[in-house]
Chains A and B, each alone.
Chain A
């Protein structure tokens, strides 16, 4: 783990000297410094909030865990000021191959078109991502990151939450207006609010090993059904930075984890796969995957985000990526509520949008896991039929499910204003904005996601010029494409991706989702969509 600092010291904070009956008061306390808590804290701080971030450990999580970070996550991290660093270190990829036995069934490209700033995915060890986020926090004012601070009790009051926090020097208390629980799949805060975490456990076990070796395999995701080196089961090979390779091997449900995890037992399995044993282990772990979610993500003033709220099996890279989408969805809403600009009920839309997203992620990753580990003879038989049909038919290929990789969810949400005009394409309200190249006058080509980010994290009106200036409500930033003063659309891709004609305008939320779109925007229509998206009516 060269170059990134991963061990952090505990430091006493003056809050710990307060008498228990009169604890220090904070607007937001985020519990858990995993990828979700760290990103959320940065986002809130960039909006001007002061954040206390607590973590029970004094180091970054063990093992690589998440490796695939999506385009959407990279665009979010761009907004948090860490995107470049992640992409520079990460392994960029967009192609996957699926094999059955000895032969390739098909290959896919997750981003077959040009004109996007970020690739479909990068692979990066989760500990690097976390380390870069911590570095960013240290460069930002406003975040008070306290290591070895473990929340051990939670008391819900009418208008605040009192946390009891254990440290190496004893316990202290904090009073928070809002607590955001990003404390992972085994969330203790979830237990403290008495919430269930219901769902499905998959019986088959998966052996996950990160091995270090120099190899010539391309930077693609390779997935096998029934490979010669691991008969009857599935396998995955994927490259990470530093010559580290992720290998997943499906084991049966009766495998003994203690035995299977022993390096001397893992080594021959991987040597069979690679055809040599010139590799070192970085990390070995054995998992039984689960798909579960909380019924409600909001419990009074305690809001759950990331793995604490929902857990998925990793086929599809939907864990950390969906947790980051939680963070970007929640932070602007919480910021508005804390400033008194929107009523607390705006937060309910976080639950509506992100719990529906969790359902979609769980559905997708459950289908993938079931396809890899069929539950009955007949399920196995249908899978066999699909795999054999895939050799000669296109429809068979498309039914083969070796993981459906994370893409942003579309929201069916009270914050959207339904389309009133006719559209033949483009992102409808509730969908995420699309990237495309833009050319500033006399400047170098840039990207729409950059322009969006540079304007700050407000509501944005993306307008396509027709000469007439659009009357934009206060507090809404404008990006203008074409017309006399607008940005150029040299490649013509923005107009195409947004189904835009002169006069078209899109109202974008601070998280880059479309709130409304208009063929002939009027100030009144924009204002109505804006107040709806801000939870004001």
Chain B
């Protein structure tokens, strides 16, 4: 596993907050544009295709889990 999923920030709340605040005063459309740019900037900074692929797989897995949960609740 090349992707690190242990907590890397000394102050994780600060990191989360920074991303949240970056979206303040943006419309949904603008937020989506912002996210697209942010993802590409961070992906390039990581610069490791294996890490990127694992991160994508992890994020995708969340989507699928989420869908299943929704279906079960209905």
Residues of chain A at the chain B interface (Cβ within 8 Å):
378, 381-382, 384-386, 388-389, 393, 395-396, 399
Contacts and interface: CB of A to CB of B under 8 A. Distances in A.
26 contacts: A378-B32, A378-B36, A381-B32, A381-B33, A381-B36, A382-B36, A382-B39, A382-B40, A384-B33, A384-B36, A385-B33, A385-B36, A385-B37, A385-B39, A385-B40, A386-B40, A388-B37, A389-B37, A389-B40, A389-B41, A393-B41, A393-B44, A395-B40, A395-B44, A396-B40, A399-B40
Interface string B18-46: 00000000000000110011011100100
A397 to B, nearest CB: 11
Contacts of A393: 41, 44
Contacts of A396: 40
A518 B57 CA distance: 42
Contacts of B44: 393, 395
- Sort A-B residue pairs by CB-CB distance and give the 4 closest, nearest first: A385-B36, A385-B37, A395-B44, A381-B36
A384 B32 CA distance: 11
A393 B37 CA distance: 12
A388 to B, nearest CB: 7
A363 B61 CA distance: 26
Nearest to B36: A385
A interface secondary structure, majority:
helix
B28 to A, nearest CB: 12
A400 B41 CA distance: 14
Nearest to A386: B40
A381 B29 CA distance: 10
Contacts of A381: 32-33, 36
Contacts of B33: 381, 384-385
Nearest to B41: A389
Nearest to A394: B44
Max count, chain A CB within 10 A of own CB: residue among B36, B37, B39, B44: B36
Contacts of B32: 378, 381
A166 B44 CA distance: 59
A442 to B, nearest CB: 51
B55 to A, nearest CB: 15
Nearest to B43: A395
Interface string B36-72: 1101110010000000000000000000000000000
Nearest to A383: B36
A382 B38 CA distance: 10
A388 B40 CA distance: 11
A47 to B, nearest CB: 43
Max count, chain B CB within 10 A of own CB: residue among A382, A384, A385: A385
B46 to A, nearest CB: 11
B58 to A, nearest CB: 18
Contacts of B40: 382, 385-386, 389, 395-396, 399
A386 B39 CA distance: 11
Nearest to B44: A395
Nearest to B37: A385
B23 to A, nearest CB: 15
B39 to A, nearest CB: 8
A373 to B, nearest CB: 18
A386 B44 CA distance: 11
Contacts of B37: 385, 388-389
A396 B32 CA distance: 18
A378 B39 CA distance: 13
Contacts of B36: 378, 381-382, 384-385
A382 B41 CA distance: 11
B48 to A, nearest CB: 14
Nearest to A384: B33
Given A382-B36, A385-B36, A399-B40, 10 more contacts: A381-B36, A382-B40, A385-B33, A386-B40, A388-B37, A389-B40, A389-B41, A393-B44, A395-B40, A395-B44
A378 B28 CA distance: 13
Contacts of A385: 33, 36-37, 39-40
A206 B57 CA distance: 35
A11 to B, nearest CB: 58
A389 B39 CA distance: 12
A38 B37 CA distance: 48
